[in-house]
Amino acid sequence: MSLAETRSPAADRLPTARKTVPLRRRLAGLEGRLAGWVLPLLLVVLWEALSRAGIIAPNVLPAPSAVAGAGWQALKSGELLHNMGVSTLRALAGLAVGGLIGFVLGIANGLWDLTFRYTDTTLQMIRNVPHLALIPLVILWFGIDEEAKLFLVSLGVFFPVYINTLHGVRSVDPQLIEMGRVYGMSPFTLFRRIILPGALPSIFVGLRFALGIMWLTLIVAETIAASSGLGYMAMQAREFLLVDIVVLAILIYALLGKLADVLTRQLERACLQWHPAFQKPGSAP
């Protein structure tokens, strides 16, 4: 999906430019892929330099090299991977449960006025309660077991998926639906070939919102009530004043968030090839 790959058909059509273009295009492609990482890298270098110069005290913010060292130690002991695995599983389980319920209800309420009339008001009321405000209640109900995290993450991801799926289904072009009916599509075929693909761009918007809320909820929940996971690791480190581990946990959150975003983009690109916003520049006539 880099620029270099997508532009190559155009280069083939111009035989005279063939010798010089690919290298320049390849460099441009490399630049496109790496540009986003220049600023983070510069910040890390600056941070390291300031730490070495003694301007930033190590008990306030340890140097990146110290954080990397702590990370390496945690990695070797297996503690880091264990905690990352636990957190990732919780996040995905919550996303699967909450996202699936949101998706199904969004589809149902988008298709049928009856379920919409009877459930939407309730859902809108629940949506306006900040789900993190339920933490005390959730601890009372579930203690600090897995159910608590699963419940909170599911609740958090439910709403963006629900609202965007509902919106997507409702905004499918009615002319296309009429066309499908005239051409004799059964209700199921109509759903599979017209309504679902039409709602998909909006569903993806919901998914990306949901991923952000998923991490946020999980980290807060793990920080307050957990006995394993990244949030727990950070809280433990705070107790023992291990600032490097705290910083490490925060950096890992940033990387995991970015990873989730990249994966969704790839999925979006694969599912929405038809969408003009995702079409490759080389494929236009």
Partner 1 sequence: MNAPASPAAFSGATAPASGGLGVSIRRLSRHFGAKRVLENVDLDIPAGQFVAIIGKSGCGKSTLLRLLAGLDTPTSGTIGFTGARDDAAVRIMFQEPRLLPWQRVLANVEVGAPARLQGEERHARARALLAEVGLAERAGEWPAVLSGGQRQRVALARALASGPRVLALDEPLGALDALTRIEMQALVERIWREQGFTAVLVTHDVAEALALADRVILIDQGRIALDLDVPLSRPRRRGSPELAALEGQILSRLLGG
CB of 166: closest distance to partner 1 in angstroms?
Answer: 20
| Residue 276 within binding range of partner 1, rule CB under 8 A | yes
Smaller CB separation from partner 1, 194 or 221 = 194
Least Å from the CB of residue 171 to partner 1: 14
Q: What CA–CA distance (Å, rounded) separates 107 from 169?
A: 7
Task: Figure out which of the listed residues 12, 114, 279, 281 binds partner 1, where binding follows CB under 8 A.
Answer: 279
| 285 near partner 1 (CB under 8 A) | yes
Per CB under 8 A, does 282 bind partner 1?
no
Contacting residue, 198, 212, 257, 282, with partner 1 by CB under 8 A: 198
- Identify the CA nearest to 67 among candidates 218, 242, 202: 242
Q: Is 175 in the site for partner 1 (CB under 8 A)?
A: yes
State CA 39 to chain mean position distance: 21
CB burial string 7-38: b at 16+ within 10 A, e below:
beeebeeeeeeeeebbeebbeebeeeeeeeee
Cβ proximity to partner 1, 93 vs 272, nearer residue:
272
How far apart, in whole angstroms, are the C-alpha atoms of residue 149 and residue 225? 9
Instruction: Calculate ∠ Cα 85-87-92, nearest 5°.
Output: 95
Distance CA 248, CA 245 (A): 5
> Cα(45)–Cα(95) distance, rounded to whole angstroms?
36
Site string for partner 1, 199-228 (x = CB under 8 A): -x----------------------------
Written as six digits, the tokens of 182 are 């005239």
Minimum CB distance to partner 1, residue 281 (Å)? 12
- 283 part of the interface to partner 1, by CB under 8 A: yes
Q: From CA 62, how far away is CA 50, in angstroms rounded? A: 10
Nearer to partner 1, 83 or 164 (CB): 164
Contacting partner 1 within 135-154 (CB under 8 A): none
The phi and psi torsions of 98 (rounded to 5 degrees) equal -65, -40
Judged by CB under 8 A, the stretch of 91-99, 149-157, 197-205, 209-217 that binds partner 1 is: 197-205
Site for partner 1, rule CB under 8 A: 175-176, 178-180, 182-185, 193-194, 197-198, 200, 272-276, 279, 283-285
